[in-house]
């Protein structure tokens, strides 16, 4: 049978592709390499700390099984991250490739921060010459942001900032005492800086059968109430409800099959993970949503007479310009005040200080281009911190351990990473995984611009805390490898020119028009905002375009 559409990958972007295509009437096959995870199938979601044998500490066995993933998960969420031994890759330089291979992908464990881009971001490459120009602008994507936000549910505060456009928000979460204090102090010293509550895909009022967030801050275990956005709770049920979706788990897509006569892709080749059987599935259009590095690997592996270097790789750009945000620099400090105040509940997010550097055409004469935003949170010291305050024993120690200590704030800069040709992924010629697929090499490092930006983050964070009367300020630049912000993007970029880019303004491969790539691999620059909202908006936009083209007989 020929499907109308195939979607590869069921994570944040693939779930959206499936929902949109199914809702528009296309018979859609959703291929997912991992196991099925039904909404509600979250074994640790309701466990109490003492119900974990290891009390939420990472064991030596965990470190053996997940040497890379354990940097991003804990025993409450580790089953939603891959076993690194089963899914190896080659690190030419240290790069943490954090993955979730299951239905829902990393939508189950993501941090849910949702920020729009602005033209400051879409015009950046054109303005300073790093990378190629984006083929779209804010006005092209703005209605799709709104469309996505309304469906997923984003709580947030409208702030009226040009560099961080407001969205269609549910009521915001609330700042606590120390965060409000820091906000006031920043506003008084620096009027172009604003501290605001994070914008997150956690519901503050119900949407359909999805309930309001109950403030448990255990989201990475899966939410039984559907109170944050995941493919499992939201897009996949919507796609299934149309009757048009066929979901096939345990299906590793190895390549996209190109037909030289029609000059289109005719389908995909799949390896059944359990039986090792090979299958081919045919469709009129294909959406590639296997996550940045996953999608690019599939394209690189799809070789034909017409495309010997990978599907759609006329430009040679495929695999290049890998980016990830850096989030290694920042500051923390303690405050002596507000000793009689506390909070109740566990808000599943922190605060945001939107970008304040290089927003006015570089008037500030900084030694780096682009910018960063600050993410952080304020809380009182509780037992995990207080155990280090003294080395006494007995009742005094216990009293200290079990009562709230000083307020503290930790914050760090999420910084833009420039697109560098040398930061790349490519396939091994010799090494293969269990399924006979070539291993991916990742070669990535941050450049001078990122390093200078980290210095500036450390300084401005330290200043803001000092000015707000914090003590014991620790300003830091951690040595974190790429990948650890888990915003890997680029490697199959959009652009205006087929000679320097892989995808056009509608996420179509320039010379293979029935293949759409709408996950992070399409990104032409990285901005500094958490990127998934943009992947979703681009996916919904491309799906509408694809269906329109199909109807017109153009595809």
Partner 1 sequence: MKRRQIIKIFGAAGVASVFGFELYSRYQAPDYEYLKGRHYLIAEISETIIPATDTPGAKEAGVAAFVVHAVKEILERSEKNTFINGLKKLEAYCLNVYHKDFEKCTTKERSEALSNMREQFPMNNFLRKVKRKLTGRSFTEILRELVVVGYCTSEPGATRGLAFDYIPATYIPCTKLTPGQKSWATK
Ligand X SMILES: Cc1cc2nc3c(=O)[nH]c(=O)nc-3n(C[C@H](O)[C@H](O)[C@H](O)COP(=O)(O)OP(=O)(O)OC[C@H]3O[C@@H](n4cnc5c(N)ncnc54)[C@H](O)[C@@H]3O)c2cc1C
Residue from 275, 361, 395, 553 touching partner 1 (CB under 8 A): that is 395
**CB 219 to ligand SF4: min, Å:** 3
Burial 457-469 (b: 16+ CB within 10 A, else e): bbebbbbbbeebe
**CB 176 to partner 1: min, Å:** 4
**CB 121 to ligand SF4: min, Å:** 28
Does residue 37 bind ligand SF4 (CB under 6 A)?
no
Does residue 4 bind ligand X (CB under 6 A)?
no
User: Residue for token digits 């939410």?
Assistant: 223
Residue from 90, 126, 161, 177 touching partner 1 (CB under 8 A): that is 177
DSSP state of 233: I
User: Which of 337, 39, 65 has the alpha carbon at shortest distance from 179?
Assistant: 337
Q: Sign of the C-alpha dihedral, residues 286, 289, 292, 295?
A: negative
- The partner in contact with residue 512, picked from ligand X, ligand SF4, partner 1, none with C-beta cut-offs of 5 to 8 angstroms by kind, is none
Does residue 12 bind ligand X (CB under 6 A)?
yes
Write the interaction track for partner 1 spanning residues 197-236; mark x where CB under 8 A is met and - where it is not.
Answer: -----------------xxxx-------------------
Main-chain phi, psi angles of 464, to 5 degrees = -60, -40
Residue from 89, 117, 228, 372 touching ligand SF4 (CB under 6 A): that is 228
Asked if 300 and 427 touch (Cβ cutoff 8 Å), the reply is: yes
Residue from 237, 312, 495, 531 touching ligand X (CB under 6 A): that is 531
User: Residue for token digits 């495929």?
Assistant: 318
Does residue 326 bind ligand X (CB under 6 A)?
no
Does residue 343 bind ligand SF4 (CB under 6 A)?
no
**CB 154 to ligand SF4: min, Å:** 13
Does residue 305 bind partner 1 (CB under 8 A)?
no
Whichever of 9 and 462 has its CB closer to ligand X, that residue is: 9
Q: How far is CA 65 from CA 78, 356, 531, in A?
A: 10, 41, 28
Question: What is the token pair recorded at 286?
Answer: 């294909």
Does residue 535 bind ligand X (CB under 6 A)?
yes
- Round to whole Å and give the CA distance between 509 and 495: 10
Q: How many residues bind ligand SF4 (CB under 6 A)?
A: 13
- The partner in contact with residue 176, picked from ligand X, partner 1, ligand SF4, none with C-beta cut-offs of 5 to 8 angstroms by kind, is partner 1
Q: Name residues contacting partner 1, limited to 467-486 (CB under 8 A).
A: 474
Does residue 110 bind ligand SF4 (CB under 6 A)?
no
Q: How many residues bind partner 1 (CB under 8 A)?
A: 53
Pick the piece of the chain touching ligand X (CB under 6 A) from 2-10, 163-171, 322-330, 336-344: 2-10
Does residue 382 bind partner 1 (CB under 8 A)?
yes
Please state, as a whole number, how many other Cβ atoms lie within 10 Å of the Cβ of residue 306: 14
Q: 214 Cβ partners below 8 Å, 6+ apart?
A: 225, 227
In angstroms, what is the C-alpha Rg of the chain?
23
- Round to whole Å and give the CA distance between 311 and 502: 9
- Round to whole Å and give the CA distance between 349 and 362: 31
Asked if 173 and 347 touch (Cβ cutoff 8 Å), the reply is: yes
- Round to whole Å and give the CA distance between 50 and 165: 43
Asked if 181 and 337 touch (Cβ cutoff 8 Å), the reply is: yes
Burial 18-55 (b: 16+ CB within 10 A, else e): bbbbbbbebbbbbbbbbebbebeebebbeeeeeeeeee
Pick the piece of the chain touching partner 1 (CB under 8 A) from 140-148, 156-164, 314-322, 387-395: 387-395
User: Which of 249, 301, 274 has the alpha carbon at shortest distance from 440?
Assistant: 301
Residue from 379, 416, 456, 488 touching partner 1 (CB under 8 A): that is 379
User: Which of 237, 336, 188, 287 has the alpha carbon at shortest distance from 517?
Assistant: 287
Does residue 13 bind ligand X (CB under 6 A)?
yes
Does residue 290 bind ligand X (CB under 6 A)?
yes
Pick the piece of the chain touching ligand SF4 (CB under 6 A) from 155-163, 215-223, 257-265, 282-290: 215-223
Pick the piece of the chain touching ligand X (CB under 6 A) from 3-11, 177-185, 442-450, 493-501: 3-11
What residues make contact with partner 1 under the rule CB under 8 A?
A: 48-50, 52-61, 173-177, 180, 214-217, 339-347, 379-380, 382-384, 386-389, 391, 393-395, 397-398, 401-405, 474
What residues make contact with ligand SF4 under the rule CB under 6 A?
A: 202, 213-219, 223, 225, 227-228, 348
């Amino acid at each position: 049978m020929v499907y109308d559409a195939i979607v590869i990958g069921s994570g944040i972007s693939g779930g959206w592709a499936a929902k949109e295509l199914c809702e528009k009437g296309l018979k859609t096959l959703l291929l997912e390499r991992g196991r099925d995870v039904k909404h509600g199938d979250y074994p640790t979601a309701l466990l109490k700390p003492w119900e974990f044998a290891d009390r939420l500490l990472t064991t030596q066995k965990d470190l053996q099984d997940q040497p890379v993933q354990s940097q991003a998960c804990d025993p409450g969420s580790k089953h939603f991250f891959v076993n690194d031994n089963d899914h190896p890759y080659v690190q030419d330089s240290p790069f943490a490739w954090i993955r979730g291979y299951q239905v829902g992908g990393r939508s189950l464990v993501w941090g849910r921060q949702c920020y729009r881009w602005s033209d400051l971001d879409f015009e950046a490459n054109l303005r300073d010459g790093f990378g190629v120009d984006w083929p779209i602008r804010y006005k092209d994507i703005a209605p799709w942001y709104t469309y996505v936000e309304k469906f997923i549910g984003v709580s947030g505060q409208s702030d009226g900032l040009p560099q961080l456009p407001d969205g269609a928000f549910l009521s915001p979460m609330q700042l606590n005492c120390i965060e409000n204090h820091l906000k006031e102090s920043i506003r008084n010293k620096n009027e172009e800086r604003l501290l605001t509550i994070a914008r997150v895909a956690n519901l503050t009022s119900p949407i359909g059968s999805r309930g309001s967030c109950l403030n448990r801050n255990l989201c990475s275990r899966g939410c039984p109430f559907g109170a944050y956005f995941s493919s499992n709770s939201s897009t996949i049920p919507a796609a299934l409800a149309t009757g048009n979706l066929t979901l096939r788990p345990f299906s590793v897509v190895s390549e996209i099959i190109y037909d030289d006569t029609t000059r289109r892709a005719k389908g995909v080749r799949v390896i059944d993970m359990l039986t090792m059987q090979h299958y081919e599935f045919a469709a009129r259009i294909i959406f590639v949503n296997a996550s940045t590095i996953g999608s690019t690997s599939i394209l690189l592996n799809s070789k034909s007479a017409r495309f010997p270097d990978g599907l759609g790789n006329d430009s040679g750009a495929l695999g290049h310009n890998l980016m990830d945000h850096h989030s290694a620099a920042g500051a923390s400090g303690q405050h002596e005040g507000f000793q009689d105040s506390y909070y109740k509940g566990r808000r599943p997010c922190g605060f945001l200080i939107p970008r304040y550097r290089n927003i006015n055409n570089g008037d500030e004469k900084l030694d780096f281009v682009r910018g960063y935003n600050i993410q952080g949170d304020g809380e009182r010291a509780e037992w995990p911190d207080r155990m280090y305050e003294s080395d006494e024993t007995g009742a005094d120690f216990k009293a200290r351990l079990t009562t709230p200590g000083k307020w503290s704030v930790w914050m760090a800069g999420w910084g833009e990473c420039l697109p560098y040709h040398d930061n790349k992924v490519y396939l091994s010629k010799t090494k293969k995984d269990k399924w006979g697929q070539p291993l991916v090499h990742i070669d990535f490092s941050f450049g001078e611009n990122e390093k200078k930006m980290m210095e500036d983050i450390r300084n401005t964070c330290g200043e803001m805390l000092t000015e707000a009367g914090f003590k014991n300020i620790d300003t830091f630049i951690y040595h974190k490898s790429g990948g650890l912000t888990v915003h890997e993007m680029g490697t199959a970029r959009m652009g205006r020119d087929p000679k320097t880019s892989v995808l056009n303004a509608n996420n179509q491969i320039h010379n293979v028009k029935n293949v759409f790539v709408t996950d992070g691999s399409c990104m032409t620059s990285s901005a500094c905002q958490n990127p998934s909202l943009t992947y979703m908006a681009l996916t919904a936009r491309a799906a509408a375009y694809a269906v329109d083209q199909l109807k017109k007989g153009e595809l």
